A and B are shown apart, each in its own frame.
Chain A
């Protein structure tokens, strides 16, 4: 899986927080797309609509084997190939095999985070296949040798000046920061690749079992060239990205584009259900659909996390999350970032490995509010933290922080008796004396050092409320119960 840095979440966050350009860029996306989606949920799409969509998602997940079997049957009937990949390795080996059989030298790609998830590009490249991203944002970050930083706006972290310099260096054009000039340069370079490619690789936004097609939404149109011009098309999909009926497909598609970019529909919506049929002029000669498990069955089998598979990858949660807004996608250091990444990455790659993602969100709930299918990400983050606190056999999780566990044990003891609690308060009053200045606890106070590095903290009061109640209120309140 795509991972770029050995730095920790905290270190990467610290770097990102200092990047004012990044902050400004995400702000713009959040103010536009995030608030736009919220307005659509308020003014146009009823909560009922979203509830029905969620129900449909869960119904499909509950019958996933049958739904996928129907999808495969329909596609095979039209001459397409369907491969069920249990692991990332299976999926990428299958793709390599297809490339080998067809003597593929150049593959064009688009709209596939799944390919990053399974680590496909490096394998193809090791085997002599050049892989070129055709989505403009993806193309830019591929040129820069970086990873996407947003689910639907992968190069949101780069401004036009950086892109101008990058194009000057990599495409050999004169420096420009004029968007149309840059876009034309990218278009010219990409058209050459699209015309020369032997294989097109795509993701799948939503598949539909009833009709046997996969669907891709885009705003640039490159994806339709990527999937129809080369003689082979391989579509990769996570096993959950399917609906049973066309009506459900329609419902989700409407939510997807709105949640992603507050659009009623995207500029291009492509439907593909197999290779070119006799008499048709467009389309690939070979069509392969790779349906990938790679850990999803395990999520499906766990009632605590099954819900996360109803995600339609609109990225809406990124467009509202205050934490993502400040640290950007790279700080999450994985294929999927933002609140959805904070739940998915630990489940896909190991809860201990991504412990920081489970713990590094404020649980504010904004992601749950904006999610088109009401995914309760804060609830699942809380479950992940529960695993990290005590370990979890089923998911192979080890308790993460011995010191914290001890602290909470002590805290539990203190909170279980008012006498113990009062003792703690009294001890605190004594301990804090040398640190109180101007009525606050300032910099560098023992266990509060991390808080007080940037924020003042109130000292423990001279009299707790309980003491005040006893000495002041209860006496005054005649007729009150002086418990």
Chain B
């Protein structure tokens, strides 16, 4: 098999706030012998603007995204909601422009969420053997909205987690109930957003797990922010950090 070529799409939140997630993803792909490219000009896919209704601004960044990533073989991103933006919302943004729409379709088809790429494209099923992953502890998994409902990715992260040596996966109730982040919703309606986060925190704590794992840093940031404010020691980890871990 020829060496896979991956272009890293490190969205703005990971780049500026939680770069360790990007490091972990690089480490995992490196162990699989993937050849990585990182276009240094990348910024954001436009999702915050799109979700708030500012489609002109979103379209501007989306066009830029197409320019930067168009020639990639596969684009991989540690965030379900950004992939959902590129794969689905770009089509809405460019619905009146056949040329851009066509470009968006082609780019969307080769943009993958991290666990989706690992399982569905590279065929990773046993992180212990294939990646040397190890995590000693119990974790619970949060299905973020755009990843699970939007992209239909529920199986892949669970398959990976279940096969990490030392790790016990316990399901929380309503794992696919929204954590209340919703982009600017969390700032515009902070009380509602916090109430939703509290429901999420409650189901996490009820599992007794030491960590909650997800594939979207935005949700994790919201959940972690609330856990930390409530003084909980439960960790919020991106799945890449678990897979890159070699035991504690």
**A contact set with B: CB distance below 8 Å:** 9-10, 13-14, 17, 322-323, 325-327, 359-366, 368-369, 379, 382, 384-390, 404-405, 408-409, 411-412, 414-418, 421, 425, 428, 440, 448, 450-451, 453-461, 463-466, 468-470, 472-474, 477, 479-481, 483
Binds A, one of B123-131, B154-162, B185-193: B185-193
Among B37, B51, B187, B191, residue most surrounded by chain A Cβ atoms (within 10 Å): B191
**Shortest Cβ distance from residue B193 to the other chain A in the assembled complex, whole angstroms:** 7
**B contact set with A: CB distance below 8 Å:** 8, 10, 12, 14-19, 22-23, 26, 30, 35-44, 46, 48-57, 60-61, 64, 92, 145-146, 149-150, 176-178, 180-183, 185-197, 199, 221-222, 224-226, 228-229
Nearest-CB residue, chain B, relative to A428:
B16
B188 & A359 in contact (Cβ 8 Å cutoff): yes
Known: A362-B180, A418-B43. A451 touches B52 (CB 8 A): no
A–B pairs, 25, beta carbons within 8 Å: A322-B180, A326-B195, A359-B185, A359-B188, A362-B145, A364-B178, A365-B146, A366-B145, A368-B149, A390-B56, A411-B48, A415-B44, A415-B46, A425-B16, A451-B186, A451-B187, A457-B225, A459-B17, A461-B16, A464-B15, A465-B23, A466-B15, A474-B38, A483-B39, A483-B40
A455 & B178 in contact (Cβ 8 Å cutoff): no
A477 & B40 in contact (Cβ 8 Å cutoff): no
Interface of B is mostly: helix
List 16 other contacts, CB 8 Å, given A385-B53, A411-B48. A359-B189, A364-B182, A365-B145, A365-B149, A366-B149, A366-B176, A415-B60, A455-B197, A456-B225, A460-B17, A461-B19, A464-B15, A465-B10, A466-B15, A483-B37, A483-B39
Q: Give Cα distance in the complex from A470 to B42, angstroms.
A: 14
Nearest-CB residue, chain A, relative to B192:
A13
B17 & A451 in contact (Cβ 8 Å cutoff): no
Q: Give Cα distance in the complex from A460 to B54, angstroms.
A: 25
**Shortest Cβ distance from residue B59 to the other chain A in the assembled complex, whole angstroms:** 9
Residues of A within 8 A of B190 (CB): 450-451, 453-454
With beta carbons under 8 angstroms apart, the residue of B14, B16, B187, B229 that contacts A450 is: B187
**Shortest Cβ distance from residue B53 to the other chain A in the assembled complex, whole angstroms:** 3
**Shortest Cβ distance from residue B244 to the other chain A in the assembled complex, whole angstroms:** 13
Q: Give Cα distance in the complex from A477 to B32, angstroms.
A: 12
Residues of B within 8 A of A481 (CB): 35-37
A456 & B196 in contact (Cβ 8 Å cutoff): no
With beta carbons under 8 angstroms apart, the residue of A388, A418, A453, A469 that contacts B53 is: A388
Interface of A is mostly: helix
Residues of A within 8 A of B178 (CB): 322, 362, 364, 366
Q: Give Cα distance in the complex from A325 to B182, angstroms.
A: 16
Q: Give Cα distance in the complex from A459 to B19, angstroms.
A: 11
Nearest-CB residue, chain A, relative to B45:
A415
What 6 A-B pairs are tightest by C-beta distance, nearest first? A385-B53, A362-B182, A455-B225, A412-B57, A364-B178, A389-B53
With beta carbons under 8 angstroms apart, the residue of B56, B199, B229 that contacts A455 is: B229
